[in-house]
Structure 1
């Protein structure tokens, strides 16, 4: 039924909880996972503007910061891809640049995903919100069914 699922992640602990559900989804017929990490255009702008007047000029910092970000993302993608492949699914990777919610919905359409499996919160884990802003956007705008994996709740909250 859900042969091709889309797994968007920012590599935070809540978003990576999706990995715990892949074996069950695989048993239920999932054969391929499209791993999506959106490089947030706002984050790139923030990184690029940091350091002006400190440790060099903005262009020098931009190149270094972007290189470090790219390397970190590549390592996390490789690790996540391997974890998925060990669970017996084919993996396709997408790393679009843009606004996370919009890019996730666009990737789901472009990849022909039959299901989006997303963590309820990512790095912007706002304590008293029911859902994170990205997962909320995806739920409201995706054409596909969306399975939201709830974050760990400590202390009954």
Structure 2
């Protein structure tokens, strides 16, 4: 799976708490962890400079939180001053990170456009997968619960599927991760195909239930060849609503999605499925940036 990860924290999101669970993250296959905190540049009038005092404070806080880490897990602290997205991209590249973990608040398209979103900006500027987690989850987990969550970070994925370029891309990425993993960190996948409601007899379905069932059976067989346990679901309704409802009853670690339009004009016109899952899901979302 992912052996080298970058965990971003602004200290208000609680992600620095993960520094206490490096042993648990090791059980998820992680061997190198970089904790990154970005300090905004100090600005007064036209003068811009590094806020050295806040940088030192952040370094001290992270070092104290991390303490002693397992000898076979490499833990690095990065505190840098600058713009958040630019710094995250630079640090991820310098450490050859395979996954970026960050928090994201639930928000609308309008709010995202007006105030910005680190997650949205990253999703269209990097090819590195993102694991997006609601900060509120980290706040309410007990130590025991968070330890288990870290151990099973990728164990079971819910994959929304509808035979489009985007969903096939996610499937390809998941299969590749399963093929390359050194142990069974990823064990299970649940495929969910939502057929949108069609109450008009004049407008036939694009995909019939039996066609969806046949395609999912093919995918199930394909994923089982890489030692994954696979379940399939076919439902009717609104795709976002039904996938989130499925997540409630499924025993999953994260929802795996992608999108090629986040932050682009198309999102103003018709929000993509992947973008809406990122905005609405309270479950962790494993996001694969769609490469051209």
Q: Does 1:79 align with 2:96?
A: no
Q: How far apart in 1 are the matches of 2:17 and 2:63?
A: 17
Judge conservation of contact 1:39–1:98 (CA < 8 Å) in 2.
yes
| Conserved? CA contact 1:14–1:120, under 8 Å | no
1:115 aligns with 2:93: no
| Cα distance change of structure 1 residues 19 and 110 upon mapping to structure 2, 3 Å threshold | same
Q: Which residue of 2 aligns with 1:13?
A: 13
TM-score (norm 1): 0.65
Structure with greater helix percent: 1
Provide structure 1 residue ranges, at least 5 long, that are not aligned to the other structure.
51-58, 122-127
Q: Report how far residue 22 of structure 1 moved.
A: 5.2
CA gap 1:101/1:118 in 2 versus in 1, 3 angstroms: same
The higher radius of gyration belongs to 2
What SS does the corresponding residue of 2:136 show, helix, strand or coil? coil
Equivalent-residue separation in structure 1 for 2:75 and 2:7 (angstroms): 10
What residue is the counterpart of 2:34 in the other structure? 34
In terms of fraction of residues, the more strand-rich structure is 2
Change in CA separation of 1:23 and 1:150 when aligned onto 2, cut-off 3 Å: farther
Greater RCO, CA 8 A, separation 6+: 1
Question: What is the aligned partner in structure 1 of residue 239 from structure 2?
Answer: none
CA distance in 2, matches of 1:91, 1:4: 10
Tell me how far apart the structure 1 counterparts of residues 52 and 90 of structure 2 sit (CA, whole Å).
26
TM-score by length of 2: 0.38
Deviation at residue 17 of structure 1 after TM alignment = 5.7
Find the aligned partners of 2:71 and 2:107 in 1 and give their Cα distance. 32
Matched position secondary structure for 1:108:
helix
Q: Do residues 129 (structure 1) and 113 (structure 2) align?
A: no
Q: How does 1:134-145 map to 2 (within 5 A)?
A: 134-145=118-129
| Unpaired runs of at least 5, structure 2 | 138-281, 283-292
Distance 1:151 1:35, change over 3 A: closer
Give the Cα separation in 2 of the matches to 1:120 and 1:88.
30
* CA–CA separation in structure 2 for the residues paired with 1:76 and 1:120: 22
Note the C-alpha offset of 1:86: 5.9
SS in 2 for 1:143: coil
Cross-structure match for 2:54:
69
Equivalent position of 2:74 in the other structure: 90
